[in-house]
Amino acid sequence: MKKLEFKFTGGDTPVVFVSFYNKDFKEKLEATDADNFDQLDFLTENEAKSVWLGRGMCNEGNPTVAIFEDGNPVKLPENADEVFIYDGEIPPEEGEEEDFFEMSDQKYGTVLTGTANAMVNPHKDDRYFGDIDKYHFASVEKVETHNASGTVTIEVEDDWKWTDFNVIYVDVDSGEGFTQEIYALTDLEQELFGIDYKGKIYEVDSDYEGGFNEWTYYEKDKDGDWSVSFKVTDLMEEKGGDW
């Protein structure tokens, strides 16, 4: 067995954290003493669920990846200066090598794939927004990204092939309901999630350095629809916790 490390570098798209809160969130906020109010402390204490949605490595920001085998850089294909990630609609298949080269200017079997049919749907996935019907309020922290990185580590067979892997993205821009609210706010489209190897997804271990951040608050109405909560926003400002 060998250890492969896929080291991604991004930084051209925002880091985004989404947190959810229970029904009494606004009541607790109203009752909080402004003299002792700290926005981050209040949000953390009342948080019921948290999602790290944007890691600064959205596909539209053209993140790069380097691959290491047992600590040593993997030799790149001939005439290549970086690892190419193919993100077409359908993965290339054996027997289509010539067509694939004409379409992508890349040799079949020497690229990573990250195709649409392998994306995570955040609207239906409980790791993201699939179970948010039980919550009533949400906050979104959007952080200006100075740099971002991520590593996926996988133990692989000695005779591994490039075609064994599929880069997995979270498909933010094709959801509905709350997911569409997030897309409209952040412009995130396809955010890096991990890599699939032989049917198992290995999630990315991420890090970032950021600067300016901004918060947006949401509230669910009686019909289950989410929208910006101006009441919560005003309360945060009144309590002196708007950053």
For residues 35-42, average pLDDT: 91
In Å, the largest CA–CA distance within the chain is 70
pTM for the model stands at 0.88
Tell me the CA distances in angstroms from 173 to 38, 60, 122, 147, 187, one per residue in order.
33, 12, 10, 23, 8
Please say whether the beta carbons of 146 and 210 come within 8 A: yes
Above 70 in pLDDT, residue 92? no
Structure tokens at 36: 């002792």
76 vs 190, which has greater pLDDT?
190
What pLDDT sits at residue 91? Answer: 57
156 dihedral zone (left: phi>0; alpha: psi -120 to 50; beta): beta
Between the alpha carbon of residue 189 and those of residues 44, 152, 175, 192, 202, the distances in Å are 27, 21, 10, 10, 20
- What whole-number distance in Å separates Cα of residue 241 and Cα of residue 35? 10
In the predicted structure, residue 197 carries a pLDDT above the cut 80? yes
Is residue 243 scored above 50 in pLDDT? no
User: What is the DSSP code string of the chain?
Assistant: -EEEEEEEE--SS-EEEEEEE-TTHHHHHHHS-GGG--HHHHHHHHEEEEEEEEES-BGGG--EEEEEETTEEPPPPTT-SS--EE--SS---TT-HHHHHHHHSS-TTSSEE--GGG-B-TTT-TTTTTTGGG--EEEEEEEEEEEEEEEEEEEE-TT--GGGEEEEEEEGGG--THHHHHHHHH---EEEEEEEETTEEEE-EEEEEEEEEEEEEEEE-TTS-EEE-HHHHHHHHHTT---
Predicted confidence band of residue 242 (pLDDT cuts 50, 70, 90): very low
- Write down the pLDDT at residue 204: 95
Provide the mean pLDDT of the chain. Answer: 88
89 pLDDT band, cuts 50/70/90, is low
Q: With cut-offs at 50, 70 and 90, classify the pLDDT of residue 12.
A: confident
Domain boundaries, the chain: 2-238
